[in-house]
Structure 1
Amino acid sequence: MTIQILLAALFLAAVLWLGFRAAPETEGAPVRRARIKEATVFGLPPVPVFCAVLALGLILRFILGYNINGFEADISCFKAWAAYTHDYGFNNMYYRDFFLDYPPGYLYVLYIVEAFRRLFGVDQYAQSYTLMIKLAPILSDIACAAALWVLARKKLGEKSALLIAFAYLFCPAVIVNSSVWGQADSFCALLLLCTLLLLWYNHTPLAAFVYGFGILSKPQMLIFAPVLIFWVIRKKDWKNLVLGPIIALVTILLFSTPFIKNFDYLKLIEIYTGTIDYYNYYTINAYNVWALFGLNWAALPEHSTWLQFGVPLATVLTGLLLLKSKRDDAVFACPTVLMFTVYIFCVKMHERYLFPVLLCLLLTYVFTKEKRFLLLFAGTSTVHFLNVAYVLYLNNAYISPTSIQILFLSALHVLLYIYMLYITYRCFISEKALRPLPAFKTQKAASAEQHTKPAAAPEFSLITDKNHNVRLTRVDLLCIAVVTLLYGIVAFTNLGDHETANTTWTPQNGESAVFETDDAYSEIFYLPGIAPADNGIGQRVGTNMKIEVSNDQINWTTAAENTDGSVYAWKNVSVAAVGKYIRITSMCDDLAINEFALKKADGTGFATLTAVSGNAWQLTDEQNTVPLYPSYMNSTYFDEIYHARTAYEHILGLEPYENTHPTLGKLIISVGIRIFGMNPFGWRFMGTLFGVLMLPALYHFLKRLFGSTFLCSAGTVLFAFDFMHYVQTRIATIDTYAVFFIILMYDAMLVFIQHDLKTDSFKKLLPPLLLSGIFMGLGIASKWTVAYGAVGLAVLFFGKLIVSYREEKGHAAVQKALLNKSIKLCLWCCLLFIAIPFGIYFTAFLPLTTLPHNRYDVFGRFIAYQTHMYNYHSTLQATHPFESPWYQWPFDIRNVWYYGNYSADSEGHIRTISVLGNPLFFWACVPATVYAFVRAVKRHSRTALICVIGFLSAYLPWVLVPRCTFIYHYFTAVPFILIAFLIAYQRLEKTASLRRVVFTKGAVTLTVGRILLLACVLVHILMFIAFYPVLTGTLTTQNYANALEWLPSWFFI
């Protein structure tokens, strides 16, 4: 649930930030067609940009729709109904003995989907068919986004139109409804949109036709009938007041006729009342006013018709809105008033019934240009998503109706409803106009405003040297793209297999499985797995089993006894005896084995096993995944046996085995597993992706520090192909996320530092601080080592305040203003760097603290986990053959050997993986770091100060850590030693001998200094190529690996 909460928060922040940037196109009259043709988006034609966004949204939905089943019961119903439309025919659908609570309209859609399935021969249980079931709502999402974009182009301009389409297309609530859950709400929302637009453009009969089909698709569409009725009354269109209901009724009867026998249309009433009466509860997971009173899933009393007072109330409010408002565009707000009122006050509400409100809020914003509707959309979509996501997360599990989660979300829904009524009244009915909301100024608007003001004093900051060339140019973007793409290809190559065995044999103690084979064999292969324990809390991960052989199933001889093995790491052992029959017997209470195989005696393949008894088929149903030579490509290695396993345990809803680090890193790993499955590629995907994403983040950081495209590109390449960055981001551990968020939080703090504290407003000063606090919270929630770096953030922040104050010595009035602003900033930082990070950190633990055995003492369990982690790290006395103290790390003294395989193939090759730094780069960074210290102390250089403060905060705390440490703990300091290297180079480049121009053509100038740096980069890449086999586990020879052991303390194999 943590990922869903963070996703909702990210979406909310994005919509608010983008929506409240000042956009000149949104002011005044509608945008002229000529301006639309001339306008561009980010310098590109708007139509291709929109098409790219649309394609991205569609691809995202296809990926989620294919990989996530959503609510199994609903998907199964849709599949069954689709099949029944063909097997039984339309006219038998409501007369057979099976559950069907949908009216006929959506069955036409399912009929078409089933027709295509049968045409292309898709298996009914295939994931591709699950995606096909979700295709109608997915395409409806795309159509709604496209319609919003077309309308907004005319009303708001190109950038705002793209924002509106983006907000709907990537709204988590919309995505989870269509792509994850596969519900019909998006399809009905599209019909509602068509109905409203047809009314607006005076095509009332056609609107009635579409609306009639909408009612036939889902009973909830009946709620919107007052919109059509009051619209024609407002327009005094008495003809259509009579004709409209007739057209809608004829449409319903016409399309329902194939489903009705003997024209018995009273059957329709039975269908609709049966659907409505089926869920006879106050609320069915709709967190509304009834849920606020603790009545979620509470049965209704016998005489409860009066409890539907929300329907007449919604009707009255809609009538007042349409008939009292002087604005025709009030029609677009009516569905929101109707559905929101019914959702809040009516009984028998489901969590998804609020869905059409999201589309109508954006539609209202497009026609009114009132940004409060955009604000309401952001809030409503976030809370609605959390409601729906929480229901999916629970998956029918019981939770107390008075739990804090339900009460909190219910209260938010009620508050949003009140705010909706307020802004609707003020916008459409009140004589007093709403005051325009403040907007974040765009660069152009701020520049224009600056020209109208008197010239200000020169900017001052924490530094004596200033770099104003911090904007990313197209050349920068090209360099970022090239480096990131090339590194991404290298990083994802041979990352891991996409398949492994996942069917788990979970016998009781003493239970056996028997196989038969006629092949000669010499080795046993098995894959330890993981499965929920019988108590539903812990896990089965036992590997203690006895393997016996026999030729007659009477006399058995022990071939092997296995007591060890790591989760999802293939294990092979030699057999002490052979026989035609093989019996595996569990010797523990928690045995979990995913696959079992016998390697042929000649080593060419695996014996053919036939299951004889005892669920033996569960051990041989995925023989194609058994590797002839186990390696990192098909197994966990090093700490993956903890972190990848824990990520999977989060997915299974179990108490994780590894709880010595915060949870967010493992939750991020679990995203890759959810997408690609529990296999090596799946559990390593997110770490590798974050390793790739580090590069643009680092480039932006370097750009703000140095301003030079050449220097930033060289630095990014050096970091990308450093051994530690490459190895550490390809293993499924959590250090990657710590470094990623450290880079981002320092980058955001640097943006704050580069602002002028004296002249810049809080609107400029607070956003970078907010981002820095968010990234700090995400980092600490991934690994505690980020808290070390957070100390550096505090030093930079207070240093900025102090230096800014001291620079105004002698100007008492300015100092007083700065002091007041500094106090306010400090108060803001209590929220931005304490409350918000703690909220993120606390949220990251919800998957643990809300487990069934924990959820009744969430905060107490949260404290217990922190205590356990602290005690573990503070009292750890373990030793390790590859540990190394902090003072050895900068000199690359001792590597950590992650993985080794002395028999990787039939030709005697080996595989090995070690983590260390590129030795030439690490050694060069030692004097460079010393120089950065000198420059920070003597010259007070901003770049050097940030480098030194960041380095010390990441590195110095390890001096005090008593437990055994490893060189990969130095990873958090690597970005700062890279900065030190670039600082030293930048100083050297200014010497006369290195400034000499060697080549120049156009904008390209090569000096001796630049050629020297290019040579360093080239040597760095050549070193990476040379060490590649021992960094990646690529097949190599032992002699070659040993030849790379430059220091006697290095060990590769």
Structure 2
Amino acid sequence: MQITTGRPSAVAVSPRGLVLTTATVLALGLLVAPRVYHNYDVVDCFLTWARASAGRRPWAIYLTDFKTNCDYPPVVPYLLTLVEAARRALHASETGALAIILVKLPNLLAYLTAVPLCALGLRRPFGDAAARHAALLAALSLPLFVNAAAWGQFDALLAVLVMAAVVALLHARPVTAGALIGVALGTKLLAIVAVPALAVWTWKRFGAGRLAGAALGGLAVIALLSAPYLVAGAGGRMLQAYVGAVDYYPVRTAEAYNGWYLLDRFDIAVRGVPAPEARLDSRPLVGAVTFREAGVAAFAAYLLMLLVGLARRPTPAALVSAAALSFFGFFMLPTQVHQRYLVPAAALLGLTAAGSTRRLALWMGVSLTAALNQALDLTRAVLDTAVRADPVAAATVSVPGYRGPIRLAACVVAVFNIALFVWATRDYWREVVAARARAE
């Protein structure tokens, strides 16, 4: 069923090996969780918001005014409420090691859920051996580990929900896929990036009627997730988590290491443009066209190319590739993109990576850059926090001394991301868009 070429992996993966690998990753994640974390996200935001719920009222997270108000969709306040309930039951301190582990646990568990999802869910469409290989790659996913265990963000959960929606479609269950996308959209708006590819594939494989059923399933889930907030009068704040996502950071890149990042560094270091001005995406690029508008247009054109190819060749592997490249394109082309938004692309590429040496190499490359993009910016954030909070660190650590090497490394990662993006796009064009239309 796969559209890739090249010699597939011949390494046998046993169920016992998968269990041992998953258990090892879980243990390592629990070891890392309280020691490395993004202080602003985990302590200043998530744990602070969680306490407002008192472990019982998720809507209170929206209704309470904080220094930084909750700007996440409804699933996150539900999870934070459970975290706070567990923290109180265990009599853990508000910002101690156990509290930090608890706030990371939903994403760490979601990340490891990808292992049985692949091992069992991909068996029928791709075969038992390919399914086990995909499960092993999911367990060894460095960007998912960094996101869930180290940073403490919700992109790992989002990625696994999208993976589950893809698997549901491969099992001819579009309504289930729609419901899973509804949960994903209730977690982060970023999930919308996968919707066009999943919708086109559903339409071509199952028809407009089942596509409508999938859409209704997704809308029903979103309605159910939103209902308690609406009843409690928190609907406006919840809606702001969606409509306020655009222009929240009106910059060419929010530390996503892509072409915009390289252009930022060039404008600042070579042209001498002040950093606050250089980073703005509202500046004109050509005539009256701004960087923001150019980025949106580039992504729209790229997405159209992916969808045309998928409509002509709606195979299982083409669905995986189109969904993954939708996220990759979103990471590379529009402005205002965050450093973590390559994680879903890396996770999705792993579903079919073991089918060929070329696909495996692409997965390894994207996984490495997605992990480094997070790790480098997390290192900067950890050092920034240490300098602000520790007088000794403030007196001994040079901020330019560590930011300079991080920026240099980030430029190298950006170059590799551009190369990987060109590689992945070329392969998709050759194997899907330019290939003779055929459905499997």
Please give the range of the TM-score, normalised by the shorter of the 2 chains: 0.7 to 0.9
Give the structure 1 partner of residue 25 of structure 2.
Answer: 57
| CA–CA separation in structure 2 for the residues paired with 1:130 and 1:416 | 34
Identity %, equivalent residues: 22
Give the structure 1 partner of residue 178 of structure 2.
Answer: 208
| CA–CA separation in structure 2 for the residues paired with 1:86 and 1:286 | 35
Instruction: Output the amino acid matched with 1:55.
Output: A
Give the structure 2 partner of residue 223 of structure 1.
Answer: 193
Cα offsets for 1:939-985 (capped at 9, x unmatched): xxxxxxxxxxxxxxxxxxxxxxxxxxxxxxxxxxxxxxxxxxxxxxx
Partner of residue 311 from structure 2, selected from 323, 348, 368: 323
Cα offsets for 1:346-375 (capped at 9, x unmatched): 111111001011111111335xx2332111
8 Å Cα contact 1:260-1:267 kept in structure 2: no
Q: Tell me the SS of whatever aligns to 2:54.
A: helix
Give the structure 2 partner of residue 984 of structure 1.
Answer: none
The answer to which structure, 1 or 2, has the higher relative contact order (CA under 8 A, 6+ apart) is 2
Note the 1:887-902 alignment, pairs <5 A.
none
Note the 1:66-105 alignment, pairs <5 A.
66-68=34-36, 70-76=37-43, 77-86=45-54, 89-98=57-66, 99-105=69-75
Q: Tell me the SS of whatever aligns to 2:94.
A: coil
Aligned in 2, Cα 1:20/1:116: closer, same or farther, shift over 3 Å? farther
Instruction: Output the amino acid matched with 1:75.
Output: V
Over aligned residues, Cα RMSD in angstroms? 2.9
In the superposition, the TM-score normalised over structure 2's length comes to 0.81
8 Å Cα contact 2:164-2:177 kept in structure 1: yes
8 Å Cα contact 1:332-1:360 kept in structure 2: yes
Q: Tell me the SS of whatever aligns to 1:89.
A: coil
8 Å Cα contact 2:179-2:221 kept in structure 1: yes
Partner of residue 235 from structure 1, selected from 187, 191, 205: 205
Partner of residue 299 from structure 1, selected from 274, 280, 287: 280
Please tell me whether Structure 1 or Structure 2 has the larger radius of gyration of its CA atoms.
Answer: 1
Q: Say how many residue pairs are matched.
A: 392
Q: Tell me the SS of whatever aligns to 2:172.
A: coil
Aligned in 2, Cα 1:236/1:50: closer, same or farther, shift over 3 Å? closer
Q: Tell me the SS of whatever aligns to 1:352.
A: coil
Partner of residue 405 from structure 1, selected from 402, 405, 409: 409
Structure ranking higher in strand proportion: 1
Partner of residue 16 from structure 2, selected from 48, 53, 66: 48
Give the structure 1 partner of residue 335 of structure 2.
Answer: 347
Give the structure 1 partner of residue 345 of structure 2.
Answer: 357
8 Å Cα contact 1:326-1:429 kept in structure 2: no
Aligned in 2, Cα 1:244/1:147: closer, same or farther, shift over 3 Å? closer
Aligned in 2, Cα 1:163/1:203: closer, same or farther, shift over 3 Å? closer
| CA–CA separation in structure 1 for the residues paired with 2:48 and 2:143 | 26
Instruction: Output the amino acid matched with 2:371.
Output: F
Aligned in 2, Cα 1:331/1:162: closer, same or farther, shift over 3 Å? closer
Cα offsets for 1:117-161 (capped at 9, x unmatched): 112222222202211111111111211122223356664655x65
| CA–CA separation in structure 2 for the residues paired with 1:221 and 1:388 | 19
Instruction: Output the amino acid matched with 1:204.
Output: P
Instruction: Output the amino acid matched with 2:61.
Output: M
Q: CA deviation at 1:63?
A: 0.9
Give the structure 2 partner of residue 180 of structure 1.
Answer: 150
Question: Is 1:107 equivalent to 2:64 in the alignment?
Answer: no
8 Å Cα contact 2:295-2:334 kept in structure 1: yes
Partner of residue 427 from structure 1, selected from 426, 431, 438: 431
Partner of residue 283 from structure 1, selected from 253, 265, 276: 253
Aligned in 2, Cα 1:91/1:130: closer, same or farther, shift over 3 Å? closer
Question: Is 1:374 equivalent to 2:360 in the alignment?
Answer: yes
Note the 1:438-837 alignment, pairs <5 A.
none
Q: Which runs of 5+ in 1 are unaligned?
A: 1-18, 26-39, 433-1053
Q: Tell me the SS of whatever aligns to 2:244.
A: helix
Give the structure 2 partner of residue 147 of structure 1.
Answer: 117
Cα offsets for 1:851-902 (capped at 9, x unmatched): xxxxxxxxxxxxxxxxxxxxxxxxxxxxxxxxxxxxxxxxxxxxxxxxxxxx
Q: CA deviation at 1:88?
A: 8.4
8 Å Cα contact 1:332-1:364 kept in structure 2: yes
Aligned in 2, Cα 1:246/1:149: closer, same or farther, shift over 3 Å? closer
Instruction: Output the amino acid matched with 1:386.
Output: L
Cα offsets for 1:1001-1053 (capped at 9, x unmatched): xxxxxxxxxxxxxxxxxxxxxxxxxxxxxxxxxxxxxxxxxxxxxxxxxxxxx
8 Å Cα contact 2:73-2:242 kept in structure 1: yes
8 Å Cα contact 1:140-1:186 kept in structure 2: yes
Partner of residue 126 from structure 1, selected from 84, 93, 96: 96
| CA–CA separation in structure 1 for the residues paired with 2:414 and 2:80 | 34
Instruction: Output the amino acid matched with 1:217.
Output: T
| CA–CA separation in structure 2 for the residues paired with 1:392 and 1:326 | 38
Give the structure 2 partner of residue 863 of structure 1.
Answer: none
Structure ranking higher in helix proportion: 2
Aligned in 2, Cα 1:393/1:269: closer, same or farther, shift over 3 Å? same
Q: CA deviation at 1:22?
A: 5.8
Q: Tell me the SS of whatever aligns to 2:186.
A: helix
Q: CA deviation at 1:164?
A: 3.8
Q: Tell me the SS of whatever aligns to 2:72.
A: coil
Q: Tell me the SS of whatever aligns to 1:270.
A: helix
Give the structure 2 partner of residue 418 of structure 1.
Answer: 422
| CA–CA separation in structure 2 for the residues paired with 1:156 and 1:387 | 33
Moved over 6 A (4+): none
Cα offsets for 1:430-456 (capped at 9, x unmatched): 449xxxxxxxxxxxxxxxxxxxxxxxx
Give the structure 2 partner of residue 391 of structure 1.
Answer: 377
Question: Is 1:271 equivalent to 2:241 in the alignment?
Answer: yes
| CA–CA separation in structure 1 for the residues paired with 2:406 and 2:80 | 38
Instruction: Output the amino acid matched with 1:323.
Output: A
8 Å Cα contact 2:59-2:77 kept in structure 1: no
Instruction: Output the amino acid matched with 2:50.
Output: A
Aligned in 2, Cα 1:280/1:48: closer, same or farther, shift over 3 Å? same
| CA–CA separation in structure 2 for the residues paired with 1:21 and 1:333 | 17
Q: CA deviation at 1:217?
A: 0.7
Q: CA deviation at 1:401?
A: 11
Give the structure 2 partner of residue 255 of structure 1.
Answer: 225
In the superposition, the TM-score normalised over structure 1's length comes to 0.35
8 Å Cα contact 1:102-1:275 kept in structure 2: no
| CA–CA separation in structure 2 for the residues paired with 1:350 and 1:401 | 20
Aligned in 2, Cα 1:181/1:323: closer, same or farther, shift over 3 Å? same
| CA–CA separation in structure 2 for the residues paired with 1:108 and 1:85 | 9
Instruction: Output the amino acid matched with 1:382.
Output: L
